[in-house]
Structure 1
Amino acid sequence: MSVKPQAHPQQNHLLAALSPEVQARLFPHLELVALPLRALMYEAGRPMEHVYFPTDAIVSLQYLMENGESTAILVVGNEGLLGISLFMGGESSPNRSVVQSAGHAYRLPRPKVKEEFNRHGQLLMLMLRYTQSLITQVAQTAVCNRHHSIDQQLCRWLLLSMDRLSHNHLTMTQEFIGTMLGVRREGVNVAASKLQQLGAISYSRGLIKVLDRPKLERLSCECYDVVKKETDILLPYLRQRQVITNVAAIPKVTLPTEAGREESDN
């Protein structure tokens, strides 16, 4: 029976890219939290008390319309952080954030985020470059939603998600995928069926497995490649970073744990 690796902050690539000096200041204040599927992390207009650094979860930022419909504008995973508004001058998010793939994250209290950010050191530079990569993702999502088919949008979304996971599968209903892409469930069903017939994915009972990533990349539009190239340029630590497979070799840090909860409850 395999043992699940112990969680550690360095499973988040941005935290791992920080110098030992910065890590020593931040890591004692990190708190490990569970992020269950569809958990609401931030609600639009509500105060933000923490920044989250996902390790094996994916969170989508969604724009909510007045009629209740929503569309995902970007995804965040182990490459970065959730809560850029806290260091960009705002105290709340204009969008809501929903967990699209369950897992865990380390959260850092708002005062500690601002304290380190105001040192104008390494964390500042990493966060600014990460923010620029998110801007690219949002802009390309807008272009993709306007000009490309649902099939291509689904390919782009799956590839972005796979880049932020250490495995090749997602647990997701057609309804939830439709919410992510801003399309009807029927459209998702048709697109997923096409990809399955072509052997790129398998999809059964809400479980999506990527079977042939190169084929998925060929079936996608250029939008994924644009975002990937820009992200690699802005965040070179992602290319240099090797997947941590032996957390026992990482210095042990004692951290508090708590079940994930909606940020607005704080």
Structure 2
Amino acid sequence: MQSSIPGPVTNHLIDSLSPQDRASFLADCEAVDLAFGEVLTEPGGQILHVHFPLDCFISLIASLSDSERLEVAMVGSEGMYGMPLILGLDESPLRAMVQGAGQVLRMPAAAFCRHLKQSPALKALLNRYLYVLMHQLTRVAACTHFHQVEARLARWLLMTQDRAHSDRLHLTHEFLAMMLGVRRAGITLAAMALQGRRLISYQRGDITVLDRAGLIEAACGCYAADRILYRRILIKEGSP
């Protein structure tokens, strides 16, 4: 579903462009509403559009088989989906699935590649974002191996809360298990532990973050490390 481009733009990458580059970039964008569970590309699929989320967020999922899937990155209003195009490739190595419904700014791949060639500032900005995303991918691999499910769940809930811009999240145990690459029983125990500490409430797929500060303490250090890196690489000094 298409709609008019909203204002002001709330995607950090686009907001970081100069007024002239931003106006030129937005001229080739359209605002599109994405539904929960919508698949943008499958592994090996061609990337036809780039997506800059406004109030939705997208899971990037590595798939070994139908039953072996793991979320390796999450993209919200801080970033974009379509990174291989920055490297001159149009094939997606991951499954891109809408995890939180909402609106994105979408641009055809050909137009995006044209803007990359015309704007050195855009190319430099997205190279920095690509570095941050690569760091997130590698940290997820280490986090999955070394950290306990409860700490990983707390981190994942914080990441989701940041991108949903809400304390209330609709997430089933089945979905959480797939995102974290663990059995449903492991998610149940971890969620019960966080609820027992009064950090969250959970009922029939609805999770409410009750104590964000406490949830940050319960999360593994990967959450804080990711935020520090993002601010160091992508947030200019003096920015909010």
- TM-score band by shorter chain is over 0.9
Checking the alignment, whether the CA contact within 8 Å between 2:21 and 2:119 is kept in structure 1 is no
**C-alpha separation between the residues in 2 aligned to 1:38 and 1:7?**
23
Residue number in structure 1 paired with 2:103: 104
| SS of alignment partner, residue 208 of structure 1 | strand
Residue number in structure 2 paired with 1:140: 139
| SS of alignment partner, residue 46 of structure 1 | coil
Specify which structure has the bigger relative contact order, considering alpha-carbon pairs within 8 angstroms and separated by 6 or more residues: 1
**C-alpha separation between the residues in 2 aligned to 1:194 and 1:110?**
44
Residue number in structure 2 paired with 1:11: 10
- Give, in angstroms, the shift of residue 165 of structure 1: 3.0
Residue number in structure 1 paired with 2:46: 47
Deviations 1:192-212 (A, max 9, x none): 111111111111121111111
Checking the alignment, whether the CA contact within 8 Å between 1:100 and 1:172 is kept in structure 2 is no
Count of matched residue pairs? 236
| SS of alignment partner, residue 65 of structure 2 | coil
Residues 212-231 of structure 1 mapped to structure 2, 5 A cutoff: 212-231=211-230
Q: 1:163 to 1:109 in 2, by over 3 A?
A: same
TM-score normalised to structure 1 length: 0.84
Checking the alignment, whether the CA contact within 8 Å between 1:33 and 1:106 is kept in structure 2 is yes
Residue number in structure 1 paired with 2:162: 163
| SS of alignment partner, residue 145 of structure 1 | helix
**C-alpha separation between the residues in 2 aligned to 1:205 and 1:230?**
35
TM-score normalised to structure 2 length: 0.93
| SS of alignment partner, residue 155 of structure 1 | helix
Checking the alignment, whether the CA contact within 8 Å between 2:31 and 2:106 is kept in structure 1 is yes
| SS of alignment partner, residue 15 of structure 2 | helix
- Deviates most, 192-201 or 116-125: 116-125
Aligned-partner residue type, residue 144 of structure 1: C
Q: 1:151 to 1:130 in 2, by over 3 A?
A: same
**Superposed CA RMSD:** 1.6
Residue number in structure 1 paired with 2:232: 233
- Give, in angstroms, the shift of residue 8 of structure 1: 3.3
Residue number in structure 2 paired with 1:193: 192
Q: 1:101 to 1:190 in 2, by over 3 A?
A: same
Deviations 1:133-158 (A, max 9, x none): 11111111111100111101101111
Q: 1:147 to 1:90 in 2, by over 3 A?
A: same
Deviations 1:113-171 (A, max 9, x none): 11111124221111011111111111111111001111011011111222223222221
Deviations 1:43-83 (A, max 9, x none): 11111111000011111100001354200001000001011
Residue segments in structure 2 that go unaligned for 5+ positions in a row: none
Q: Percent identity?
A: 35
- Give, in angstroms, the shift of residue 97 of structure 1: 0.7
